[in-house]
Amino acid sequence: MDSVTQPAAAAPADVPALDIDPFSAAFLTDPYPDHERLREAGPVTWLSRYGIYAVARHAEVRAVFADHATFVSSAGVGLANFHKETPFRPKSLILEADPPDHTRARTVLARILSPRVVTGLRETFAAEAEAMVGRMVARAAAGAVVDGIKELAEPYPLKVFPDAVGLEAEGRENLLLYGDMIFNAFGPRNELFARAAAKVQPVTAWIMQHCARDHLRPGGFGDLIYRAADAGEISVAEAPMLVRSFLSAGVDTTVNGLGNALLCLANHPAEYAKLRADPGLARQAFDEATRFEAAVQTFFRTTSRDVELAGARIPAGSKILMLLAAANRDHRQWPDPARFDIGRRATGHMGFGSGIHACVGQVVARLEGEVVLAALARQVATIEPAGEPTRRLNNTIRAIASMPLRLTPA
């Protein structure tokens, strides 16, 4: 029986029950009114439709992340409970794992993606950002309405990140299809999932083929995973699975992180003016966009024991939905949370998670965000919407398919 039609467990007596569907088209199109209802109903709520708990306030989201022994990842970080349902794909060795298994994988990935290593990419990433923004600005100078997604937010991560992993150029569109699939798979088996999963076989085959050592350029992130296997830190069988994590988590996230940041700046001209006046604000502006419009909106945990959270008694084996994007707009944590303000200190937001599973790629993601926004600040005087953006609904990612923009060259 699938997650949607599974009869929900009885509502617990001590937790407010809500009929909100966080995976409906209406919710995914504009989640913010329902985020407010979820945050204000209580620190822990019960979503009757799915028979799951939810946390939408900053303090409880952080508390769930902090107690990784009680709120585990090994039963899946989506709606599906891997103790009861077969995972959509073989489990990720880092995302869908707990210590000590998680620790081994994390150690290898954290070294490959360390600040020291990523500093070595800065020049290349910055040059590509300047060039790509330059091409978009040239089209705008010739009078064109440009597409911020198709001309920048998608092609930029699709170029620099797979280059760093050491992937060939051919067939990279599979990375976007795969991302859409696996991030939909964290939600229920709804229409969004069905549509993405229709292409699962050829896309998965392409991904797994490109996780093999002979497809990866020597010295790239992918090859460095195999060198960790050579050194005995991980097994040879684990290596392609960790490369798969790069290809799973490294593109759709940054594509939409950049897309959402562009949308924020287009919709808030005074904030863009501040960035333009001081391109040194680019990193902070990207962080604020990640708070304000988190690319990854939700993740789940599963309780490994009976636990009390903010006064709610939650039984072992329960699924808990963490609404990261709602926590990021909790007035208990931030003054004027619904205001996009690139001058604010947004650190502590949940857009990269927190605790032992906090985004291991965030150094790369922040580098991409910083150099793209800095290139815009140097080359573009004003950014204006030239029509409504088209959303691409996804069960987990806040995604944009297309965003017409009018740019004034600097």
Q: Does the footprint of ligand OVP cover residue 296 (CB under 6 A)?
A: yes
Pattern 156-195, binding to ligand OVP, x per CB under 6 A? --------------------------x-------------
Token pair 């005087």 is found at 381
Read off the tokens for 142.
């010739």
* Of residues 42 and 78, the one with the C-beta less far from ligand OVP: 78
**Nearest residue (CB) to ligand OVP, 106 versus 331:** 106
Binder of ligand OVP out of 45, 174, 245, 318 (CB under 6 A): 245
Task: Please state the closest distance from residue 131 (CB atom) to ligand OVP, in A.
Answer: 28
| Tokens encoding 363 | 């150094």
In this structure, the chain runs to a length of: 410
Cβ–Cβ under 8 Å, residues 337 and 328: yes
> Among the candidate windows 11-19, 196-204, 208-216, 245-253, which touches ligand OVP by CB under 6 A?
245-253
In 29-51, which positions are buried (b, 16+ CB within 10 angstroms) versus exposed (e)? eebeebbbebbebbbbbbbbbbb
How many whole angstroms separate alpha carbon 245 and alpha carbon 121? 20
Task: Output 94 or 371, the one with its CB closest to ligand OVP.
Answer: 94
Tell me, by CB under 6 A, how many residues bind ligand OVP. 10
Cβ distance to ligand OVP smaller for residue 55 or 95 = 95
Classified as helix, coil or strand, 285 is: helix
Distance CA 253, CA 161 (A): 11
Nearer to ligand OVP, 312 or 397 (CB): 397
Q: Which two tokens stand for residue 391?
A: 């959303």
The three-class DSSP label of residue 52 is strand
Binding marks (x or -) toward ligand OVP, 255..294, rule CB under 6 A?
A: ----------------------------------------
Alpha carbon distance 289, 275 (integer Å)? 13
**Which is it for strands 390-392 and 399-402: parallel, antiparallel or unpaired?**
antiparallel
Amino acid identity of residue 221, one-letter, is F
Distance CA 275, CA 409 (A): 15
Closest CB 73 distance from ligand OVP, rounded Å: 10
* 362 near ligand OVP, rule: CB under 6 A: no
> For ligand OVP, which is the closer residue by CB, 45 or 73?
73
Min dist. Cβ of residue 296 to ligand OVP (A) = 5
Tokens of 217: 């350029």
333 binding ligand OVP? (CB under 6 A)? no
Tell me how far apart the alpha carbons of residues 403 and 393 are, in angstroms, rounded to a whole number: 14
Q: Considering the complex, what minimum distance in angstroms separates the CB of residue 288 from ligand OVP?
A: 20
Q: How far is the CB of 407 from ligand OVP (least distance, A)?
A: 30
Residue 306 · residue 299 · CB < 8 Å: no
| Near ligand OVP in 78-107, by CB under 6 A | 92, 94-95
Give the closest residue to 15 by CA, choosing from 315, 350, 303, 333: 315
- Binding residues vs ligand OVP (CB under 6 A): 92, 94-95, 182, 244-245, 248-249, 253, 296
